[in-house]
Structure 1
Amino acid sequence: MHWGPEILGDGRARFALWAPDRDGITLELDGAPSLPMAAAANGWFVVEAQAAPGARYRFRLDADLAVADPASRRQADGVHGWSVLCDPAGYSWQNDWQGRPWEEAVILEVHAGVLGGFAGVAERLPEWRDQGITAVQLMPINAFAGTRNWGYDGVLPYAVAEAYGSPDDLRALVDRAHGLGLMVFLDVVYNHFGPDGNYLSAYAAGFFDEHAHTPWGGAVAVSKDPVRRFFIDNALMWLSDYRLDGLRFDAVHAIADNGFLDDMAREIRAALPNRQTHLVLENENNDPDRLAPGLYDAQWNDDFHNVLHVILTGEQEGYYKSFADNATERLARCLAEGFIYQGEDGGHGPRGKPSGHLSPGHFVSFLQNHDQVGNRALGERLISLTDADRLRAATALQLLCPQIPLLFMGEPEGSTTPFLFFTDFHDELADAVREGRRKEFAHFAAFSDPAAREGIPDPNDGMTFARSAPEPGPDNAAWRAFYADLLALRSRHVVPGIAGARSTGVEVLGDGAVAARWLLGDGCTLGLSINLGRAPVTFPGAEGRVLLELGDSGAPDSFAAWIAK
């Protein structure tokens, strides 16, 4: 049995639901007689019916409750409404695309909602391509309650959010991106479900692990085959039916089943042998074992962001506290070995394993992303928290080191627009989310006063969403040119050597200042020096062709890069 409907041809379809807690299920087709579903093995119910693409359907559990298909591909009238039968083969693809190598990835993370849906994202593709972006990563797009959400409160992981467009609108976005030579990645959430519109517990309580919990809700029981298949088949759907180039798996440490993660990666690789498919983890465990050959390409490197944020802004509250002491030495380790925490206690017990054996291309580095901006109380971007020269130097380090860079929408335009946390909940749930958001910041000095917390934007206010649409900053042209120049240098000199690159040492030059070297896979040596401290230092002399110099050599907020053949 497989989750979701299957089109059989001749105007017929098969519908299935795993409902082990129910004795009987009825299929309701809009405008047609209801059909009882036959009980099959292991808690499954199945029925074949006369139904063509576009037919609306749902499952009747009892007289008082009818629910959407948890594997619905499309919804009509929200997650509480009807599911819509879709034909994944109905779209006529215009581009025969096999992908691009991982080493070429320069990723831009975007939120489809604030950019005007799938069509709005598609309109921006040419300008991003021209700037040097090679991959667009969509924040989660699966169906959620209401019309506004980050996507991490999704409840129907197979269905695209109605507010963003139709399944074919998403295919058209991917198709256009491929025609421009751009990859498209998707952020998927397999560790929890949102609080509004998830009915699984009403008929399959065993979908969740009663002994495990996440910060966002009940943990999923991936040890059970139907649950395991729900998520693995979901990953395969995005990659096959929508021809996406890769997936970013959100917070897999909250799944807590490495066997499941490894099996999923292997099955994806086996199913798509002739395409360049890229799989990336967010994993607070800093676990290099998941990055072994044949599994995942890379992990988001929060350590890179955290230590640079401390150095750039001086902030030390919250999780930044674990990076405040010896920040320069920590930055050096990050550039040389990937993870900073490789088994040390970061304040909540040991975290991570040794990662120095991995090449830099196994790590996705960023200065900003949806979490690091949007999880701030006021959603400030880094450009508002440090000065421009320091930000330019840090950006040059990020874009010219051999780790894979990820940018956040608006960043390459010098945007000062906040990116806030937004939802579209109502009544008691809206109150709980708003108050929970404000309590979250009570231990920060700036919000210790309850009156100050009242100034934190209400996630459910429509203006919170509207304010989060990125607008170009006042120095837009200069920032665009700066990013374009850096990405051109990266493409020409760094990308050809990322595969097989290894660190040959990082030297601490002073407080906030380091010099790093890598032997690249093409035989070149890359050297980068940066000073984000307050006192001048002496940069090592260039041993080859100078690629870039910012500021006076060794002065505060300066940067230098060279490459030797």
Structure 2
Amino acid sequence: MTHTHLMPFGARLLPGGGARFSLWAPSATRVSLLLQASTQHEPLAVPAESSGEGWWHVDTPDGVAGREYQWRINDTLTVPDPASRHNPRGPHAPCVLTDPEGYAWTTDWAGRPWEELVFYELHVGTFTPEGTYAAAAAHLQHLADLGFTAIELMPLAAFGGAWGWGYDGVLPFAPHHAYGTPDELKAFIDRAHALGLCVFVDVVYNHFGPDGNYLNAYAEAFFSTTHTSPWGAAINFDQDGGSVVREFFIHNALYWLEEFQADGLRLDAVHAIQDASLPDVLDHLSARVRALEAQARRPLHLVLENELNHGWRLSTRHEPGLYDAQWNDDFHHALHVNLTGEAQGYYAKFAAEPMGVLARTLATGYAFPGPWRGGDATGPAAPLGCMVHFMGNHDQVGNRAFGERLQALAGHDGAEFALLLALLTPATPLVFMGDEFAASTPFLYFANWEGALRDAVREGRVREFGHSTDDQHALPDACDIATLHASTLRWETCETHEGRQRMALIKAALEARRQWLQPRAGHLLAQGHTAEPVGSTGLRVTWHYRSGEAVQLELNIGTDPVDAPAPWEAIAQEVFSHRRGRADTVWPPRSARWLLAGGPA
């Protein structure tokens, strides 16, 4: 069983032998392919033929799997193929022609519906000391045993340097070489599927990284002349040439889902994508993925990171043009402020009314819904089932000066409480790697930049976080490999008392989710859920279902007991309890209880 995604970009083997190489280079006047022949040390230079509208092609019988190649622009500049499938020495070195049919998949995988998903986010380079797909695969059984059903991989696209977070990718189709070969990534996904785990890939369609990006030299139309992004030039989706750029990224999405059999994508920072055309690139990408989903006959899922909280982009029904879910930063921020008291930066508006914003996120999803499409009015929040809830992720941990996890700020009791709130709501849970065994390692920002880029990053970090340092707490150097090593998980923590305790808690909570919340997910009402204050730090949250059933969460997020009104009548069934005894009118600190009542037994 093999899988190949056919596309107009890049290189592909031809059925009768040889290969076709295609490059969109509308700014170039001459293009040649540099192809390493088997009998020569120097690569062959093969002039490319123009087919119009910026396209250049080379068909050659010398194109066989394993051969290295690059493009030569205007007889002076050597560049990688932007749609290369494999760059084993990074974006400044030659690409390698690959045969997607060379990997034989062993798992006949039907996927999972959205309501079954529980995410585990991991960074391949720091998940294990080896930092490879093969080493990561050895821990998949551990995750499946705890009850996780989906792995979300931080970005894999090739970037400059040996190590980094991955959000500065420059070759979106080439898995980063330091983690392993494309076939080793496929083997990781194959193994995950064999264990019942979905695999999601985090993709970045809002900018290219600064190291190894040559597109401006021969395809200036990749970048907008009117829009900008926080990371420099914005991608062009709505000016001349934008239709080809749009196809480049849509094919990238289809490539991960088809050729690598990924189950879904998480689209990074879509609020930074500027596109004035209708339908915009996000609508178009979703529609194409839904068409592939119908063809593949397995669920394919799409998740957004969107600071603008556009609930109108989300749907529980896999509709063309719409997305399954959004990372819900509002939930994290409300939880974090209540547990830590932090009020700086983007936490400020949550700290103004901490319990109120937590109540809104638990009952409606967003604390602050974004504007409705086509107008300035605030639209309805998206369904709770379209939210992804977490107590931490790579951003919320790694964008701190010292990369502290929540337990370093709120203690183990606070972290356990936060984890349970993320795991046991109608939203979809996500856990950041290591939090399942109470890891004490930080997750710091790290990037293997050299020269001026390295200096710029170091200076920028000092400007941003210099106020957080003193003689005892020096700011970690993002470009020092020691920072990468400090962020690497220490798996021996699993064997500590705290590690075993945390894993047992997560396993029990996910079993309760599987038994009580998952079967009812499809019946959750779109609105009408409530969150009533109880004392100064308590909430009684009620989620309603079409069956007439309701799940009620009683929580005390504070460090003092809360006197509470009488609970539901005796017919309510306890779903899960944390730090709660039978004295129902007094809720202990950092305690929670979930109850089910109403509807059929």
- The answer to whether the 8 A contact 2:29-2:74 is kept is no
Deviation (angstroms), 1:351: 9.4
Matches within 5 A, 1:54-453: 54-115=66-127, 116-223=131-238, 224-257=242-275, 259-273=280-294, 274-292=297-315, 293=317, 294=319, 295-343=322-370, 353-356=378-381, 358-442=382-466, 446-447=468-469
Distance 1:424 1:10 in 2: 42
- The answer to whether the 8 A contact 1:515-1:540 is kept is no
Q: Secondary structure at the match of 1:40?
A: strand
- Specify whether residues 138 and 520 from structure 1 end up closer, same or farther in structure 2 by C-alpha distance, changes over 3 A only: same
Q: Which among 470, 473, 488 is matched to residue 469 of structure 1?
A: 488
TM-score computed with the length of structure 2 as normaliser: 0.89
Aligned residues: 554
Deviation (angstroms), 1:395: 1.9
Q: Secondary structure at the match of 2:14?
A: strand
What is the letter of the counterpart of residue 332 of structure 2? Answer: H
Distance 1:286 1:343 in 2: 5
Range moving further from structure 2, 37-46 or 496-505: 496-505
- The answer to whether the 8 A contact 2:30-2:75 is kept is no
- The answer to whether the 8 A contact 1:380-1:418 is kept is yes
- The answer to whether the 8 A contact 2:327-2:387 is kept is yes
Range moving further from structure 2, 99-108 or 287-296: 287-296
Distance 2:576 2:15 in 1: 60
Q: Any stretches of 5+ residues in structure 1 without a counterpart?
A: 345-349
What is the letter of the counterpart of residue 537 of structure 1? Answer: D
Deviation (angstroms), 1:9: 2.3
Deviation (angstroms), 1:540: 4.9
Deviation (angstroms), 1:563: 1.3
- For 2:57, the equivalent position in structure 1 comes to 46
Q: Secondary structure at the match of 2:258?
A: helix
Range moving further from structure 2, 54-63 or 281-290: 54-63
> Would you say 1:35 and 2:46 are equivalent positions?
yes
Deviation (angstroms), 1:459: 1.0
- Specify whether residues 74 and 65 from structure 1 end up closer, same or farther in structure 2 by C-alpha distance, changes over 3 A only: same
Percent identity, aligned pairs only, is: 43
Q: Which among 471, 477, 488 is matched to residue 458 of structure 1?
A: 477
- Specify whether residues 539 and 83 from structure 1 end up closer, same or farther in structure 2 by C-alpha distance, changes over 3 A only: farther
- The answer to whether the 8 A contact 1:288-1:353 is kept is no
> Would you say 1:23 and 2:29 are equivalent positions?
yes
- For 2:503, the equivalent position in structure 1 comes to 480
TM-score computed with the length of structure 1 as normaliser: 0.95
**What do the CA deviations read for 1:31-69 (whole angstroms, capped 9, x no partner)?**
352111111121111111121111111100144420100
Q: Secondary structure at the match of 1:187?
A: strand
Distance 1:476 1:231 in 2: 41
Deviation (angstroms), 1:441: 2.3
What is the letter of the counterpart of residue 210 of structure 1? Answer: T
Deviation (angstroms), 1:523: 4.8
Distance 2:363 2:314 in 1: 17
Q: Secondary structure at the match of 1:59?
A: strand
> Would you say 1:551 and 2:579 are equivalent positions?
yes
Distance 1:130 1:137 in 2: 17
**What do the CA deviations read for 1:279-336 (whole angstroms, capped 9, x no partner)?**
0000011001111441200000000000100001000011101110111111111111
- The answer to whether the 8 A contact 1:129-1:180 is kept is yes
**What do the CA deviations read for 1:498-527 (whole angstroms, capped 9, x no partner)?**
123135311111323211111235653211
- The answer to whether the 8 A contact 1:397-1:528 is kept is no
Distance 2:247 2:169 in 1: 18
Range moving further from structure 2, 236-245 or 501-510: 501-510
Distance 1:175 1:206 in 2: 37
Deviation (angstroms), 1:241: 0.1
- The answer to whether the 8 A contact 1:510-1:533 is kept is no
Distance 2:92 2:480 in 1: 21
What is the letter of the counterpart of residue 449 of structure 2? Answer: F
